[in-house]
């Protein structure tokens, strides 16, 4: 598929897909006319990239993590520096989750108090 079709399927701009390519996150093959051509696996890969970015990882970390996402690849990856960096990233994300949950709980408390005054507020 061409870049426009991939863009439409994953819901990101073609510019962002080109950026992912520049960062070494995706690698389309080139047709004779120079057009980028993506296989079906690119859809899942872009979705993984989006998820990892959403979790707060940098493109640098994602570039290193992507090859390790398959179980077989992980069993062969034993670079201790890489493992240390990923563990530190994981710990940083856990801290963010804790803080976010504190904010959610505070908002729940506020909504609980307000819902007694304004019953139409949904405190889901």
Q: Which of 34, 46, 61, 51 is nearest to 5 (CA)?
A: 46
Task: At 29, give phi and psi (nearest 5°).
Answer: -85, 160
Instruction: Tell me how far apart the 2 most distant CA atoms of the chain are, in Å.
Output: 67
Helix axes 41-54 and 14-22, enclosed angle (nearest 10): 80
Supply the pLDDT for residue 85.
85
In angstroms, rounded to a whole number, what is the distance separating the alpha carbons of residues 99 and 92? 11
Could you say which residues of the chain have pLDDT below 50?
72
Supply the pLDDT for residue 124.
56
Residue 98: alpha-carbon gap to chain centroid: 19
Q: Which of 63, 68, 69 is nearest to 79 (CA)?
A: 68
The residues, any chain, with a CB within 8 Å of residue 76's CB and separated by 6 or more, are none
Supply the pLDDT for residue 77.
60
Supply the pLDDT for residue 65.
85
- pTM reported for the whole predicted model: 0.68
């Amino acid at each position: 598929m061409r870049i426009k079709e991939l863009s439409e399927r994953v819901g990101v701009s073609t510019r962002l897909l080109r950026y992912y390519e520049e960062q070494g996150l995706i690698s389309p093959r080139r047709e004779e006319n120079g057009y980028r051509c993506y296989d079906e696996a690119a859809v899942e890969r872009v979705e993984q990239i989006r998820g990892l970015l959403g979790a707060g990882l940098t493109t640098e970390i994602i570039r290193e993590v992507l090859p390790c996402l398959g179980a077989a690849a992980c069993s062969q990856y034993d670079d201790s520096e890489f493992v240390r960096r990923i563990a530190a990233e994981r710990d940083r994300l856990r801290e963010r989750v804790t803080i976010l949950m504190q904010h959610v709980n505070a908002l729940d408390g506020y909504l609980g108090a307000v819902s007694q005054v304004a019953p139409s507020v949904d405190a889901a």
